[in-house]
Amino acid sequence: MSLCNNEADALIASGAPILCLDTCSVLDLMRDVTRDDLLPADAQAALFILGKMEAEQELHALLAEQVRHELNDHLVHIQEDAQRAIDKWQSRMSRVDEIAAVFGAPARAQATHLDQHVARARAVVDRMIASAQPLRPSADVIPKAFVRMSKAITPARKGKDSMKDCVVIESYLDAVSTLRARGFSAKAVFLSSNTKDYAAENNKLRSDLGSEFDALSIEYASNMRTARHLLGV
């Protein structure tokens, strides 16, 4: 099993809900701050969730080993992309100011508060990773992930190499199954903004994976706001 007996017992004894983190939802905290789909409420919810994670007995987050590997692979270039987006934004603002000045506008916009934004966001990501409990895959995870991919069961899709996503979801299914079998009754939520692979209409989980989640009383959240609501924290 992916959780040793002592780890499972500690999670059960705390009575706190569990959040299963996907790679994309952690990286989202540090992505391009100028993008249109980023809402202040999501950032606020993420910081609130992080505070509960760091309080230890109020919320536990699990971080599958595959997710940790993917974070290690992508953190640096996501950070660089985010900084380039801010640089582009500031350059555009400067150009607009210069044009406005030609037409007699006396004021100039200020965006120096963004200079350290990426570093601050990276610090939040690092805290979230450090606060989450590492989840090692059990011996059953890889074979089950391969079957899931071969049968194109969510998050797998025909014509796509979805093995990594399948390993992530099998890791969390295995962990929650272990906990439920040992009497864990608190809420469990899987957080992934990868709606392309996980969700059908209205950001609802696809039915095949949904039935597996229902059997273990796992809920799905596509953003931090929804995750906070479902966790009840």
What's the pLDDT at 83? Answer: 95
Is residue 63 assigned to a domain? yes
- CATH assignment of the domain containing 209: 3.40.50.1010
* Residues 6+ positions from 139 with CB-CB distance below 8 Å: none
What's the pLDDT at 5? Answer: 84
Rounded to 5°, the CA angle 123-129-132 comes to 140
Residue 1 pLDDT class (50, 70, 90 cuts): low
Could you tell me what percent of the chain has a pLDDT over 70?
100
Question: Considering its fold, how many domains does the chain have in total?
Answer: 1
Is residue 65 assigned to a domain? yes
pTM attached to this predicted model: 0.92
Tell me the per-residue pLDDT of 104-161, one tens digit each, with 9 for 90 and over.
988 888 878 888 999 999 999 999 999 999 999 999 999 999 999 999 999 998 888 8
pLDDT at residue 212 tops 90 = yes
Could you tell me what percent of the chain has a pLDDT over 90?
79
What's the pLDDT at 49? Answer: 97
Is residue 108 assigned to a domain? no
Rounded to 5°, the CA angle 21-25-27 comes to 115
Tell me the per-residue pLDDT of 45-101, one tens digit each, with 9 for 90 and over.
999 999 999 987 899 999 999 999 999 999 999 999 999 999 999 999 899 999 999
Q: Which long-range contacts (CB under 8 A, 24 or more apart) does 133-136 make?
A: 133/7, 133/11, 133/60, 133/61, 133/62, 133/63, 134/63, 134/65, 134/68, 135/2, 135/3, 135/62, 135/63, 135/64, 135/65, 135/171, 135/172, 135/175, 136/2, 136/65
Give residue 18's domain range: 5-82+118-231
pLDDT at residue 37 tops 90 = no
Is residue 99 assigned to a domain? no
Tell me the per-residue pLDDT of 159-201, one tens digit each, with 9 for 90 and over.
888 999 999 999 999 999 999 999 999 999 999 999 999 998 7
Is residue 56 assigned to a domain? yes
Is residue 126 assigned to a domain? yes
Question: Among 43, 223, 41, which Cα is nearest to 121's?
Answer: 43
Is residue 113 assigned to a domain? no
Residue 2 pLDDT class (50, 70, 90 cuts): confident
What's the pLDDT at 20? Answer: 98
Is residue 172 assigned to a domain? yes
For the record, the structure tokens of 154 come out as 């969510």
